[in-house]
A = this chain, B = another copy of it.
Amino acid sequence: MISFEPIGTIHTPYKEAAPYQPIANDKGEFYIELLPHYEAGLKELLRFRYIYVLFYIDRLKEAPKMRFTPPWLTNKELGLFATRTPSRPNPIGLSIVKLINVIDNKIYVSGLDVYEGTPLLDIKPYIKDLDDKPDANYGWLDDVDNKEHFMLHIKGIPHDY
């Protein structure tokens, strides 16, 4: 058994429903409030354009299923670890967001895909050349009909059709 304690709280406008992935330009304020005794650990963080936010997915409604068929891919069964579903054996969420500002113990960021009040586990810098993989691929997402449209949904980009 491994035990962690929240090091802060994530604040978002999402009280009833949260998107599946970060929506960079979503309306409302997104900030992370670090416990005050960790504030000194933020020095030089603002130098980075992007950060990883690790959080505890604390509002799970369903037990994890090892295999499932997502609604947008009716003919395909996916393994849990090939997806980003929040229902995981260890519900640790991982989001990459743009850093906007750091003021005292508050970290202002672009849209974060979590509910208001989500417990923060860790923050790490996203480092050029180390974390961006230009040759990454889409995996099973290649099988989705109209993948480009689907990616707009995944990335939360508004579109008219």
Contacts and interface: CB of A to CB of B under 8 A. Distances in A.
Interface of A: 1-7, 21, 38-45, 47-50, 52, 54, 56, 66-67, 76-84, 88-90, 92, 94, 96, 119, 121-142, 151, 154-155
A136 B132 contact: yes
Contact of A128 (B3, B130, B138): B138
A92 B120 CA distance: 12
A89 B128 contact: no
Copies in the complex: 2
Main SS at interface, chain A: mixed
Closest 6 pairs between A and B when the two form their complex, measured CB to CB: A43-B79, A41-B80, A48-B139, A40-B66, A47-B139, A44-B82
Contact of A94 (B48, B52, B142): B52
A49 B135 contact: yes
